[in-house]
């Protein structure tokens, strides 16, 4: 599935959604207006001390412009403020949603085997999809089988599963569920879900206001001794509360109908994407069959989860209005869509449960244990070739694997894609990592040290100076954690032999270089947990490490840019589009293409040819995209260009990424450094770009 097309469809759905809810609000306004006309024209309203207001609104005419304006403004203010309040609650991204419903963040250091397996599955899919690994949460008190993804961008996304999902699903079935949720992340559904929730809450606020009015009158008594006006006022206030309650909940009812209809349309696509991703239809269908077979099914009982019912993998509540409020298609229809040959049989649980009395916790687990490897650390040589950085121009180190075949169109077609090939490659890459590095990436106390370690130079003298900088700027704890990661296992410890300087570390050659940015992706959930001071210290340390030898490599720039961008999206996830014109960004695009061309070749003529190949993809401004001199397209210029392009429209982002890919592929091959720089550009533009498998070119 094309990432940009999926995002465009999400924007169209949002536009239709706004239109539908606008109609619901208009209906609420009209209902409120006619209720006001009726209420103010009858009974106690005529005896209330309304002053000059009486002459304007208390009469028998159907059309009362001033009253209509008042009702309209009042409704819009209440709905608008309610929606903005709920949207503000979501401004912290997916973690705010997960924690708001009582989910617990999985801490790798204290995770049980089932939780570690879940982390493994999520990490594999994140690397395959080219996303920073999302934080993972568990709803401990929910025995039903369910899950959801939430967030405003790919940088602040989280994945949450219920305890029943961990207890009852096999690894393949868990992969099917998580693949389904990653489809929602990549298709732009998460942001749409949050908008649905915010708008519906705004309509519901009217009903909540009415309920609040009635609640405030619970101790008031009206008797014959009360004055007519006093008693009438109380009755009028009560009638106002009833009217608001009815209007609000009627609007909420129709809002939920719209929400359910929109949500149902997306579930079949997400199931199909999960199958495409894992190449295992039995994964998602197995999970659905267990939902259909267990008495507790996919029900989520927490009161706080009611507002996000449409987020979940499967129907999380029993609808009181049949299929009208159902946020998901029936389980049987979803299974049939994936497996047309299905015999209609659901999973047969080994023990029948009473949903009112029992839970999955009392049942034996069917989950297999997690495969574990030797507890190796060993960062020595993992950052081989990643020297320090300078401020003006790139230094492109020699690649240990040489150039590899590259097809720009295929690379861009994979943006945001869920493919089995990427999934298998991610599994192989992660399984090849020393377990100690993967564990360090997951822990807030060690992730900063790991990231610093990725920037260590191969030269012993430079590395020694860098270690001193880590202790000086990041603190003694980070320095100690880094030193522990640098201690390679000795012979006999898990069968691993300590590497010697220059040997490329525990994961040599291609694998060592290829695994560097994926390690950064794995570390993102842990880095997001750092406080502001710790993050500032880390970014300062990284800058010092990059400047240690006065030069910059594409990897060093890519690491810093990806880290800063993803942390920025996690803290300020709202999208902003400032540029809709290629002309406004012509200079920035020229800088990007020129840097990419010079990284790919030291020959001026070859660089100019490569830059022209990229410019040809942007006919509107092709004449403005000539190769820029090397001294005018250094690090500072590229950094500024990335930031400005991040605020461009989706179409400009897509064409710029394609143009950059054409520059890289002008000679038909790509180096690791070129691939890392392209992924850094994609990350800056918030476009998930999967890690392509790089195979050395065969000798002629």
Rounded to whole angstroms, the Cα distance separating 393 from 142 reads: 54
Q: Look at residues 38, 397, 39 and name the one whose alpha carbon lies nearest to residue 240.
A: 39
Structure tokens at 499: 């590497």
Q: What one-character DSSP code corresponds to residue 552?
A: B
Q: Look at residues 64, 62, 38, 43 and name the one whose alpha carbon lies nearest to residue 53.
A: 64
The β-bridge partners of 493 are: 496
- Tokens 């949903």 identify what position? 355
- Tokens 């003694």 identify what position? 476
Rounded to whole angstroms, the Cα distance separating 83 from 603 reads: 57
- Tokens 């300062």 identify what position? 540
Q: Look at residues 77, 64, 171 and name the one whose alpha carbon lies nearest to residue 125.
A: 171
Q: How many CA atoms lie within 13 A of 142 on its CB side?
A: 28
Structure tokens at 636: 């500072």
Rounded to whole angstroms, the Cα distance separating 296 from 300 reads: 9
Rounded to whole angstroms, the Cα distance separating 462 from 549 reads: 7
The β-bridge partners of 405 are: 669
At 138, give phi and psi (nearest 5°).
-130, 135
SS (H, E, C) 91-105: HHCHHHHHHHCCCEE
CB of 190 within 8 A of CB of 152? yes
CB of 57 within 8 A of CB of 19? no
Rounded to whole angstroms, the Cα distance separating 304 from 619 reads: 52
Catalytic hit among 181, 439, 443, 544: 181
Structure tokens at 292: 């259909």
DSSP line for 490-511: PTTBTTB-PPPTTS--SS-HHH
Angle at 150 between CA 146 and CA 151, to 5 degrees: 170
| Alpha helices per DSSP H over 1-47 | 3-40
Q: What one-character DSSP code corresponds to residue 405?
A: E
Structure tokens at 541: 């340390």
Structure tokens at 417: 């894609």
SS3 category, 401: coil
Q: Look at residues 116, 176, 129 and name the one whose alpha carbon lies nearest to residue 157.
A: 129
Angle at 629 between CA 624 and CA 630, to 5 degrees: 130
At 161, give phi and psi (nearest 5°).
-125, 155
> What Rg, from alpha-carbon coordinates, does the chain have?
29
Q: For the chain, what percentages of helix, strand and coil (3-state, to nearest 5) are there? A: 60, 5, 35
DSSP line for 669-690: EE-HHHHHHHHHHHHHTT----
CB of 459 within 8 A of CB of 381? no
Q: In what order do the strands lie in the sheet with 158-162?
A: 104-105, 135-139, 158-162, 147-150
CB of 340 within 8 A of CB of 138? no
Residue 551 annotated as catalytic: no
What does DSSP say about strands 135-139 and 158-162: parallel, antiparallel, or unpaired?
parallel
The residue ranges of DSSP E strands in 34-112, in sequence order, are: 104-105
Catalytic residue IDs: 181
């Amino acid at each position: 599935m094309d990432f940009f097309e999926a995002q465009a469809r999400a924007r169209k759905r949002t536009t239709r959604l706004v239109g539908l809810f606008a109609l619901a609000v208009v209906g609420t306004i009209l209902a409120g207006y006619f209720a006001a006309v009726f209420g103010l024209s009858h009974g106690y309203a005529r005896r209330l001390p309304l002053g000059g207001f009486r002459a304007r609104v208390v009469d028998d005419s159907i059309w009362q412009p001033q009253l209509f304006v008042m009702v309209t403004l009042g409704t819009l203010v209440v709905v608008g403020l309610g929606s903005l309040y709920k949207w503000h609650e979501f401004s912290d991204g997916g973690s705010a949603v997960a924690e708001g419903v009582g989910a617990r963040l999985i801490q790798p250091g204290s995770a049980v085997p089932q939780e570690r397996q879940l982390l493994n599955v999520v990490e594999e899919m994140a690397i395959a999809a080219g996303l920073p690994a999302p934080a993972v949460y568990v709803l401990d008190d929910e025995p039903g089988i369910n899950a959801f993804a939430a967030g405003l961008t790919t940088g602040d996304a989280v994945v949450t599963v219920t305890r029943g999902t961990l207890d009852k699903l096999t690894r393949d079935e868990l992969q099917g569920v998580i693949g389904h949720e990653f489809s929602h992340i990549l298709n732009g559904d998460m942001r749409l879900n949050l908008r649905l929730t915010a708008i519906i809450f705004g309509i519901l606020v009217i009903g909540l206001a009415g309920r609040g009015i009635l609640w405030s009158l619970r101790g008031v008594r009206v008797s014959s001794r009360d004055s007519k006006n006093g008693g009438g006022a109380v009755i009028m206030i009560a009638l106002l509360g009833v009217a608001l309650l009815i209007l609000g909940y009627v609007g909420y009812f129709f809002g939920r109908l719209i929400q359910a209809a929109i949500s149902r349309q997306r579930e079949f696509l997400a199931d199909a994407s999960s199958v495409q991703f894992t190449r295992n239809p039995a994964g998602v269908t197995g999970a659905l069959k267990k939902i259909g077979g267990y008495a507790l099914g996919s029900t989520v009982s927490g009161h706080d989860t009611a507002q996000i019912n449409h987020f979940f993998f499967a129907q999380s509540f029993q609808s009181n209005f049949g299929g009208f409020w159902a946020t998901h298609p029936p389980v049987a229809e979803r299974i049939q869509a994936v497996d047309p040959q299905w015999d209609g049989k659901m999973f047969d649980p080994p023990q029948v449960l009473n949903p009112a009395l029992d839970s999955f916790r009392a049942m034996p687990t069917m989950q297999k244990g997690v495969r574990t490897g030797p507890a190796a650390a060993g960062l020595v040589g993992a950052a081989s070739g990643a020297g320090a950085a300078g401020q003006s121009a790139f230094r492109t180190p020699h690649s240990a694997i040489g150039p590899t075949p590259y097809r720009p169109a295929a690379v861009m077609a994979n943006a945001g894609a869920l493919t089995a090939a990427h999934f298998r490659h991610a599994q192989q890459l992660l399984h090849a990592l020393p377990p100690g590095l993967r564990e360090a990436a997951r822990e807030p106390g060690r992730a900063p040290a790991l990231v610093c370690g990725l920037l260590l130079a191969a030269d012993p003298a430079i590395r020694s100076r860098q270690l001193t900088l880590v202790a000086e700027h990041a603190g003694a704890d980070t320095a100690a954690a880094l030193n522990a990661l640098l201690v390679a296992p000795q012979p006999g410890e898990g069968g691993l032999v300590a590497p010697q300087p220059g040997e490329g570390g525990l994961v040599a050659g291609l694998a060592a270089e290829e695994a560097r940015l994926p390690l950064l992706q794995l570390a993102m959930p842990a880095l997001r947990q750092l406080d502001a001071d710790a993050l500032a210290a880390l970014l300062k340390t990284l800058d010092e490490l990059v400047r240690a030898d006065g030069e910059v490599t594409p990897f060093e720039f890519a690491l810093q840019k990806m880290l800063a961008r993803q942390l920025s999206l996690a803290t300020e996830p709202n999208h902003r589009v400032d540029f809709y014109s290629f002309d406004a960004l012509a200079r920035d695009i020229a800088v990007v293409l020129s840097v990419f061309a010079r990284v790919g070749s030291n020959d001026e003529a070859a660089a100019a040819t490569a830059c022209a190949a990229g410019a040809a993809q942007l006919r509107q401004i092709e004449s403005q995209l000539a190769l820029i001199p090397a001294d005018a397209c250094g690090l500072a210029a590229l950094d500024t260009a990335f930031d400005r392009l991040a605020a461009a429209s989706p179409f400009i982002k897509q064409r710029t990424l394609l143009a950059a890919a054409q520059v890289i592929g002008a000679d038909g091959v790509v180096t690791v450094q070129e691939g890392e720089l392209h992924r850094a550009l994609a990350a800056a533009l918030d476009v998930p770009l999967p890690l392509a498998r790089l195979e050395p070119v065969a000798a002629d």
